Chain A
């Protein structure tokens, strides 16, 4: 089991946002958490990633996390290559491993021609490709995507699903947190989050 969340509770003041959320994920599966705005998705995601701590409950993650935020969190003044270097250092990758992964991701997501360009000169679609690549650079065991469909253009969307096939084969699990799930048949399990409770 790659992820196991038990009875997660989170409140802000008197408002209880997560009311005992429990779910688990097996290796090599694609899970979705769908919910309307205000259902507690963002809170749950921030707890899973480690940005926030739940007031109560247990969270167990057995492996490396790759986090792909909704809005590309990248530096406008750095080049694509510099982003890979910066994040590779954060992940603690060796030079050889990092270079290998970078080349693979640039090729698979088809944006190698922009590697020397500053990010501020690139399109929104390329920002999304870079955003996703940075989450995948260290070959995570669990990839957590926040509202991926909002920013993906059609080409990136297709590339993303192609990548998921390979990732699943490698044993990587994928968790998509979104307000609207497309292609439901691609998911092994879908959880609905409503009023802080998973159904």
Chain B
């Protein structure tokens, strides 16, 4: 239903382009050596600051968009969903339909954002990089579902999403910042950590990002399980 709103489609197409345009116009091309915490500490990678920023923003934009879409999907229709449950649907049937819609959006957004990123530079493993963006969508989509299920007010939910997405995906996971950050353990526990690691590994190296990918799946599944429980308890009717 979200995809039937023309303005939503336009924004979904335009927002990543705006993000990447800002990066392309403002970030220098100088080469930067950096390490990734999910790889061996002795492994240094060298990439241009612009390329690193592009991958970092690809992860951020996928996370932002999916968390907002997921939150909207579950929160906007909560009263109608309860009516449908009174009419005979089981809460899990409605949850499943939401998850299918979410999966479709994750695929569309990650492919779109991945392809745009690849127009700026040669991505080492484009398929794996797109998969990493899908994992970001899964983790942050799960977060959006959890917030949308838990919080009734739209503004409060938006603020919660902006808070985490800005701090995590939009700031702390930038590998250049991260390399010098104090208390890196905190950053390890944030939702965008594993998908970011996976995306950077896929974009710039020949190493395997399997561990980071699996951890992303685990993280996203946690959010998903939590949101499913909240949804079920809020939607169940008592007859």
Evaluate contact between A90 and B84: CB separation under 8 angstroms: yes
A72 to chain B, nearest CB (A): 9
Chain A residues, Cβ within 8 Å of B77: 75
Among A53, A67, A74, A77, max chain B CB count under 10 A is at A77
Given contacts A50-B86, A91-B88, A118-B4, contact A73 B238 (CB under 8 A): no
C-alpha spacing A78/B4, complex, angstroms: 9
* Assembly CA distance A89 to B89 (angstroms): 8
CA distance A120 to B79 in the complex (A): 17
Task: Tell me whether B83 is interfacial, beta carbon within 8 Å.
Answer: yes
Q: Determine if A13 is an interface residue (Cβ-Cβ < 8 Å).
A: no
Establish whether residues A52 and B80, one from each chain, have CB atoms under 8 Å apart when the complex forms.
no
Asked whether B87 lies within 8 Å of A50 as measured between CB atoms, the reply is no
The one of B4, B88, B238 in contact with A77, judged by C-beta atoms closer than 8 angstroms, is B4
Q: For residue B88, which residues in chain A have a CB less than 8 angstroms away from its CB?
A: 90-92
- Please, which residues of chain A bring their CB within 8 A of the CB of B237? 49-51
A86 at the interface (CB under 8 A from B): yes
Q: How many residues of A contact B (CB 8 A)?
A: 22
Does B1 have its Cβ within 8 Å of any Cβ on chain A? yes
Would you call B30 an interface residue if the criterion is a C-beta within 8 Å of the partner chain's C-beta atoms? no
On chain A, the residues within 8 Å of B87 by CB distance are 67, 87, 90-91, 134, 138
Q: Are B4 and A67 in contact (CB under 8 A)?
A: no
**Residue A151 at the chain B interface, CB threshold 8 Å:** no
Instruction: Please tell me if the beta carbons of A69 and B83 are within 8 angstroms of each other in the complex.
Output: yes
Distance in angstroms between the alpha carbons of A75 and B2 in the assembled complex? 11
- In Å, the complex CA distance between A49 and B82 comes to 11
Query: Which residues of chain A come closer than 8 Å to B239, judged between CB atoms?
Result: 50
- Chain A residues within 8 Å of B5, by CB: 77
CB contact between A73 and one of B1, B2, B83 (< 8 Å): that residue: B83
Q: Closest residue of chain A to B1, judged by CB?
A: A77
Q: Which of A50-97 contact B (CB under 8 A)?
A: 50-53, 65, 67, 69, 73-75, 77-78, 86-87, 89-92
From known contacts A90-B87, A91-B87, infer whether A51 and B82 are also in contact, taking CB-CB under 8 Å: yes
Chain B residues closer than 8 Å to A67, beta-carbon distance: 83, 86-87
Q: Which residues of B contact A134 (CB under 8 A)?
A: 87
Q: In the complex, are the beta carbons of B1 and A78 less than 8 A apart?
A: yes
Interfacial residues of chain B within 81-101, with CB under 8 A of chain A in the complex: 82-84, 86-89
**Minimum Cβ distance to chain B for residue A91 (Å):** 5
Q: Evaluate whether A75 and B83 lie within 8 angstroms (CB atoms) in the complex, with A50-B239, A53-B238, A91-B88 already known.
A: no
* Shortest Cβ distance from B81 into A: residue: A73
Minimum CB distance partner of A49 in chain B: B86
Give which listed residue, A51, A78, A86, contacts B84 with CB less than 8 A.
Answer: A86
Most chain A C-beta atoms within 10 Å of own C-beta, residue among B2, B88, B89: B88
Q: How far is the CA of A74 from the CA of B238 in the complex (A)?
A: 22
- The distance in angstroms between the C-alpha atoms of A91 and B87, with both chains bound, is 6
Q: Give Cα A92 to B239, complex, Å.
A: 18
Distance, CA A92 to CA B238, complexed state (A): 20
Q: 15 A-B pairs, CB-CB below 8 angstroms?
A: A49-B86, A50-B238, A51-B238, A52-B238, A53-B238, A67-B87, A73-B79, A75-B77, A78-B1, A87-B87, A90-B87, A90-B88, A91-B87, A134-B87, A138-B87
Given A74-B80, A75-B77, A90-B84, 18 more pairs with CB closer than 8 A: A49-B86, A50-B237, A51-B82, A52-B238, A53-B238, A65-B86, A67-B83, A67-B86, A67-B87, A69-B79, A69-B83, A86-B84, A87-B84, A90-B87, A90-B89, A91-B88, A118-B4, A134-B87
Which residue numbers of A lie inside 8 Å of B, CB to CB? 49-53, 65, 67, 69, 73-75, 77-78, 86-87, 89-92, 118, 134, 138
